[in-house]
Structure 1
Amino acid sequence: MFNPSQSDVRRFFCDVFRKQRAQEILTPLETMASDWIRHHPEYHDVLANVESALARDYAVDSGQTNPFLHLSMHLSIDEQISIDQPPGIRAAATALTLKLDSAHEAQHQIMECLGEMIWNAQRSGLPLDGDAYVEAVKRRL
């Protein structure tokens, strides 16, 4: 099982941004990450400096969005949709994309549901509830 460290994730996104700007060949995963990086120009300054990115703290109480977590969640949602796991997420995401007329905005809505599911599981000590997650996305319709 792939289990990257915080540093690995930050280096990955910074390297993708560097390759993107240098117009280097990207792997399929890097291409997906590159697409989301393009949608988030507000993160470009952070991604441009690896050492600063590695040192920066995005504590919850700081009120700042963690760009690496945000981009990672985009990739996670892409993967969930591609394999329809949890079952029903693909149809719910497609319907939400059509409703909002934006895959990006739909992903942000889905991201809120994903974050809520993770938070609930952590708080309760129970496993992730994929059915509740899909239902939460459907309620956004």
Structure 2
Amino acid sequence: MFTPSSHDVRRFFCDAFRKQRAGEILTPMDAIAADWIVQHPEYHDALMDADAAVARDYSVEGGQPNPFLHLSMHLSIAEQVSIDQPRGIKAAHDLLVARIGEHDAHHDIMECLGEMIWTSQRNGVPPDTEAYIDCVRRRATR
């Protein structure tokens, strides 16, 4: 199993952005990342310099959102939906997209994903994927 470091993740996004801007050939994962990067122009400056991105501290105390965490969540959700794992995420996602659009749907799903991870870590239990899917469904039907 491949477990990239935070530095690897930051370099991946910076490189995907660089390739996209230069018109270079993108891998399928680069292309997905570049599509989300384009939708987040507020992160473009942070992605221009990979060395600075690796060195930067995005701690909660710093008060700045972490663009790499945000973009990683977009990629995670895109992958979950593409393989319907956990089972039911694709249908819940599609309902939410129909209601509010792809980008806003991803942001709503991020809230549910973050809640599931936080609860799991806080309680020392495995992630509750049913609660996660239910959270997304509730957002799709409110």
TM-score (norm 1): 0.97
Match of 1:7 in 2: 7
Alignment of 1:85-96 (within 5 A): 85-96=85-96
Match of 1:106 in 2: 105
Match of 2:135 in 1: 136
Name the amino acid aligned to 2:4.
P
Give per-residue Cα distances to partners, 1:81-121, cap 9 Å, x unaligned. 01111111000000000011x10000000011001100100
How far apart in 1 are the matches of 2:63 and 2:136?
Answer: 25
Alignment of 1:1-141 (within 5 A): 1-100=1-100, 102-141=101-140
Q: How far apart are residue 2 of structure 1 and its match?
A: 1.4
Runs ≥4 in structure 1, deviation > 4 angstroms? none
Give per-residue Cα distances to partners, 1:45-78, cap 9 Å, x unaligned. 0000111101111112323211000000000000
Q: Residue 140 of structure 1 aligns to a residue in which SS?
A: helix
How far apart in 2 are the matches of 1:115 and 1:11?
Answer: 23
State the superposition RMSD in angstroms: 0.7
How far apart in 1 are the matches of 2:112 and 2:57?
Answer: 24
TM-score (norm 2): 0.96
Q: How far apart are residue 139 of structure 1 and its match?
A: 1.1
How far apart in 2 are the matches of 1:133 and 1:61?
Answer: 28
Specify every segment of 5 or more residues in structure 2 that has no aligned partner in the other structure, as ranges: none
> What is the count of residue pairs matched by the alignment?
140
How far apart in 2 are the matches of 1:134 and 1:65?
Answer: 25
